[in-house]
Chain A
């Protein structure tokens, strides 16, 4: 499908085919408007034709309990008290954030198994996936899951197949309250600003847009009523690619190759300059002469 608008490709050291430039898109999830109906979860299953196992009730509305190879978006339910004696039932649609600086892509060792399109969508090509799970190690949001069925990694595609033909993602289309909107990243930021003004006027003075700069911004953004406490929604406060992953996928690679090449060549050059270490003729003759 769209292969001329790739900005980044996993485990690839040369430029990706990217002559075609597309408008940067974003999905905005307004948690203040969400009623937790799970229509988005169903629409995701329907469009992607996935049926996860019918699980067990774990005591909350959250079902299945976690993301999975066949569950790419999940309503997470949180009962919290942002202020004392003020219970709030926060419901967040969880799924891939489509980071501008994707940790999964940085960590993936399989060329082209993860791509980032110029419109900002980060997509997995499961036919190139080797099932190592490095994407999970790289992700600051704990999103990708290895399927128990085929041991490949899966996650939300932001309906890249729909978006590439001018449609909005399935979850956006189905949302009955307009809590999920989709459009250009700029438009979504403007829309979020309006929503935050409205929330401020209703007493949510800390309402804010969640578009974390630590990962270069994301192409799935949230409007949070309590923008100062993303943790109560199960979101990391300042997500960034882990320093360990940066080290592993950054300096360790050239440094490692240089070290191995240096030692290998040092051996060769040593042999060439010093010659082999042979048993001395004299000792050999003395040993021969012994009875």
Chain B
């Protein structure tokens, strides 16, 4: 649906679906993972039908997320290659955070911060998927020394990933007019021109 015929399409329906599957499985993974990470969060197991169900479901959510995350990476990787303008943008991120973003370097579909976040998420998943398999005792039996290392890496990386996702979600809330791109795929021209000028110019080229 286009609320306004002049709106710009940022995400196709299948890209949005892909993002939602990853997002939902991430939330389920974070909640069930935190439940087993610290006793303070153990009551979260009640959301999944108890401790045993949490233990059973967590790795299954993990498989779903892994598959759809890889799919999403294949779709978006080329848009997220770091260019020199991105590093410049990151060097001046303080101005952006102060809300003075008018003079920030021109950005394409994604800015330096979004691209960095993308690669941090890829790196996190590259650690979380194999270590998660090592910890999955229901189906795998790895040497105990390996399981111990995997447990530390899995927990530490998950903490980093949760923090990175906090930043991702907050950025979407903070920059008004962004979240609709996740819902119905379009953004206003003014939004695009302010935040992603180069992408705006490409998308509005007659």
Contact = CB atoms under 8 A, between A and B. Distances in A.
A23 interface: no
Interface in B146-166: 147-149, 151-152, 155-156, 159-160, 162-163, 166
Most buried by B among A12, A252, A275: A252
A270 B39 contact: no
Interface stretch (A43-51, A75-83, A197-205, A259-267): A259-267
Interface residues of B, number: 48
A68 to B, nearest CB: 13
Interface in A232-256: 242, 244-245, 247-248, 252-253, 255-256
A247 B147 contact: no
Nearest to B45: A130
A239 to B, nearest CB: 13
B54 A270 contact: no
A34 B162 CA distance: 54
B102 A109 contact: no
Given A274-B99, A276-B174, A131 B55 contact: yes
B175 interface: yes
Contacts of A142: 144
A265 B101 CA distance: 23
A137 B37 contact: no
A265 B94 CA distance: 18
Nearest to B204: A290
B190 A110 contact: no
B176 interface: yes
Contacts of B155: 248, 252, 256
Contact of A270 (B40, B51, B55, B170): B170
B77 to A, nearest CB: 25
A245 B151 contact: yes
B98 A263 contact: no
Contacts of A133: 137
Interface string B28-54: 000000011111101001000011101
Contact of B42 (A11, A264, A276): A11
A137 B170 CA distance: 36
A256 B156 contact: yes
Most buried by B among A131, A270, A279, A280: A279
A151 B136 CA distance: 12
B152 A248 contact: yes
B174 A130 contact: no
B175 A263 contact: no
B124 to A, nearest CB: 14
Interface residues of A, number: 47
Given A267-B167, A279-B177, A256 B38 contact: yes
Contacts of B1: none
A131 B176 CA distance: 45
Interface in A260-291: 260, 263-264, 267, 270-271, 274-280, 283-284, 286-287, 290
Contact of B40 (A132, A245, A257): A257
Contacts of A132: 36, 55, 137
A136 B152 contact: no
B138 interface: yes
A146 interface: yes
B190 A130 contact: no
B40 A13 contact: yes
A178 interface: no
Closest 9 CB pairs of A and B: A130-B51, A267-B170, A133-B137, A244-B148, A256-B159, A11-B39, A284-B190, A263-B163, A109-B36
10 contacts: A13-B39, A131-B52, A131-B55, A136-B147, A137-B147, A253-B38, A274-B97, A279-B188, A283-B190, A284-B190
Interface of A: 11-13, 109-111, 128-134, 136-137, 142, 146, 151, 242, 244-245, 247-248, 252-253, 255-257, 259-260, 263-264, 267, 270-271, 274-280, 283-284, 286-287, 290
